[in-house]
Structure 1
Amino acid sequence: MAVTPKTFVREELGNEYGEVVATVPAGKRWVLTSLLLSNSRTGSESASANFLMLEDVFVLHDLKLSPGGVFTLDCAQVLEAGQRIQAWADGGYGASLHACGVEMEA
C-alpha cells in the first residue's frame, strides 16, 4: 500500500459558511497529521473567527488570531473517499489554512 505525504489544502479562506476546501478522491484515504491557521494581516486587524470542520464535525469553532498569529494542531484524523475538509473565516481575508498528511489507497 503506497503512502504518499501530501498537502491537502494551502489557501486563503473565504467567508462562506461550510465552504469545502478539499475532498478525498475516490479510492483514497487521507490521514491529516497537521493543521495550521494563520493571519497575514498587519496592524491591529485580527482575522475574524475561523472555523474548520471535517465532514460536518467542528474541529475549530470561533478561533480568533492576532495579526501575524499562527495556530497549529498536530492530529491523526482519518478521512475516507468523498469526505470533506470545510474551512472559512467570518469576514475572511488574511486567514489561511494549510492542511497536510498522508494519502493512501482505500
Structure 2
Amino acid sequence: MDHKSAPQEITTLVGREVYSKNGVFVGEVEDIRLDLDHEAVTGLALHQLNNELFGADARSSRGAIVPYRWVQAVGDVVIVNDIVERLRQPDAEGDEDEEEVPA
C-alpha cells in the first residue's frame, strides 16, 4: 500500500465496501481497530458479511475483523488479499489461516 500519499481521516474508511483482489465482496467496514501506542491501524471490523465466505460463528456474530496487513488498496472500495476467500476452503493438512475473528 502506498503510505506516501496525502494523509486522510481514518474515519473515511467506515462504510466502504471491502472486496478481495479477485473481486469477491467480503463485507462493509463498520469500525477500525487501532494500536494507540504505535499510532497504527491494525484491523478493519466488518459487518454485512458475505455469507459464502464466513463460517456460521461469524454469521451469528456482529461481524469479523480483518487484519489491516491484508489491505492491498483503499479507494472508493477497500481491496484485501484473496486470503479471505481461502478461509472458506481450509486444506486437508489443517494449514488454515485463522486470522478472521468474529466480533
TM range (shorter): under 0.3
Structure whose residues are more often helix by fraction: 2
**TM-score w.r.t. structure 1 length?**
0.23
More relative contact order, 1 or 2 (CA 8 Å, 6+ apart): 1
TM-score, normalised to structure 2's length?
A: 0.23
